[in-house]
Structure 1
Amino acid sequence: MDIRQYLDSTYLKTAEQANLSESKNKEIVRKAIQEAIDEEFKLIMIRPDMVKMAKEMISNANSRVLIGTVIDFPEGKSELDEKLAEAQQAIKNHADELDYVINYEAFKRGEIHQVKEEVISCTRLGLINHKVVKFIIEVAALTDDQIIQLSSLIKNTIVANFEEKDYHNVFVKSSTGFYVTKEGKPNGATVPTITLMLENSNPLPVKAAGGVRTLDEALEMIRLGVKRIGTSSAKTIADGNVSTENY
């Protein structure tokens, strides 16, 4: 097994969040893209405004690294037409995978029809453009029951509206890595939350994002059944070391 082919190497901080200038933050993104190329990771996950740069670098290197980006990140509260417009631009810029933050607050308010419409429309846009789609449910913002219900909702909506051949291209993803929890509780993937997602999203694949910091933790997630791992420490994990990063 090549662990690198499970890793979505991730850098999603804005310059402001990183407390850097725009140019210095862009240079960090550039280095992350180059590292993904050099290490032959499955994918580089970056903000939408960095997708063009990634496409140019990867094409010039004749690399097979995929480009992923986040949509309506990190809160997922935008109107559906805004979500779709952002995704359409990412597609135009040659992103390969679209990680949408689902409107989990609408779900928690019981606005199930709205969430279903979002899942259908966002998935359709991705699939007709031959893109992989992932829905970030933000497990740290949900109770266990809500994780079960939202994973099931996404699964049932996909199964009811799309063909079986497409299921492997629609993921349920755990976390943004940016949710602020209370009392130091995990804001990303844990074994209990990933287990709930796997049990309730099948046959859709699961991506574990946030909190995976060591090779052993990554291997444990793979043994559970996840198909992708989102991490800002892909090289550290691949090298068998321990990361101090928080995503």
Structure 2
Amino acid sequence: MCEVNVNQFLESTYLKTPKQAGITQEETKKIVEKLIIEAVNNKFKLVMIRPNYVSMAKEMVDSLNSYTLVGTVIGFHEGTYSTNEKLEEAKKAIEDNADELDFVANYEAFKAGKINLVKSEIFQCTKIVLDNNKVAKWIIEIAALTNEEIAGITQLIRNVVLDNFGEEKAANVFVKSSTGFFKTENNKPNGATFEGMEIIIENAKPLPTKAAGGVKNFKDALKMVEMGVKRIGTSSALAIADGNIAKDSY
């Protein structure tokens, strides 16, 4: 059995706004720049940042002759943005040359039974991404859902993708566990769990999956990969790659 290169599954992530982190815009920019350099030096699969840093990130990655991809978030982090708002954000990210776009699905609408609204958003937003030869990921926020709802919304995404774009495009549309920003009670996990990812993997096939949040160390990252997860989103990619335990919550 060949050794797994976990670095090639890691998406090094920083998504806090200056206000959320209690720091200045300039300090935030420096954190993002450091993240990009770390990702390139360690050959991480992707760097995941807010939309306003996509152009800068792309320029830095290109100037360093790196294959590290640049990803960003759309409709973040609540997911309740209208489809049109998500499409506008997506257009801007595509214009700025983002490689991958992680949309927060309107899981609240799904929970409320507004299935057609969710289907429409998945179709329209996935279409603009695939039409521009990019990768789409759909964040379903598993901490806000029951196991049955996790299975249900995952199946919905899979069916919309397969019915409208075919299995040949399935590899470019992921189902992703979490934003890392959802507030849970009693310190319950707000990100990927092994149980949650098993449900997503089983119901997403043949769509790939991304475990975001909650992966704290190399051992857990390796287990996720062995389960079939194709990407791991973490703000502690360097710690995981170095065999240390992540200190950040995401």
TM-score by length of 2: 0.98
- 1: CA distance between counterparts of 2:29 and 2:119? 36
> Counterpart in 1 of 2:177?
174
**1:63 Cα offset (Å):** 0.8
Please state whether the residue corresponding to 2:245 is helix, strand or coil.
coil
Q: Could you tell me whether the CA contact under 8 Å between 2:176 and 2:212 is conserved in 1?
A: yes
> Counterpart in 2 of 1:18?
21
> Counterpart in 2 of 1:113?
116
**1:223 Cα offset (Å):** 1.1
Deviations 1:6-61 (A, max 9, x none): 00000000001111011111110111011111111100000000001101111111
Please state whether the residue corresponding to 2:47 is helix, strand or coil.
strand
Q: Within the alignment, does 1:133 sit opposite 2:141 as a pair?
A: no
Q: Could you tell me whether the CA contact under 8 Å between 2:167 and 2:206 is conserved in 1?
A: no
User: Which amino acid counterpart does residue 115 of structure 2 have in structure 1?
Assistant: I
> Counterpart in 1 of 2:93?
90
**1:163 Cα offset (Å):** 1.8
**Count of residues in Structure 1 that have an aligned counterpart in Structure 2:** 247
Please state whether the residue corresponding to 2:119 is helix, strand or coil.
helix
- 2: CA distance between counterparts of 1:5 and 1:76? 28
Please state whether the residue corresponding to 2:71 is helix, strand or coil.
strand
**1:125 Cα offset (Å):** 0.4
**Sequence identity percentage:** 53
> Counterpart in 2 of 1:102?
105
- 1:60-71 residue pairs with structure 2 within 5 A? 60-71=63-74
Please state whether the residue corresponding to 1:186 is helix, strand or coil.
coil
TM-score by length of 1: 0.99
Q: Could you tell me whether the CA contact under 8 Å between 2:104 and 2:140 is conserved in 1?
A: yes
- 2: CA distance between counterparts of 1:75 and 1:221? 25
**1:239 Cα offset (Å):** 0.8
**1:165 Cα offset (Å):** 1.1
Q: Within the alignment, does 1:209 sit opposite 2:212 as a pair?
A: yes
**1:213 Cα offset (Å):** 0.8
- 1: CA distance between counterparts of 2:26 and 2:222? 36
- 2: CA distance between counterparts of 1:169 and 1:199? 17
TM-align CA RMSD: 0.6
User: Which amino acid counterpart does residue 154 of structure 1 have in structure 2?
Assistant: I
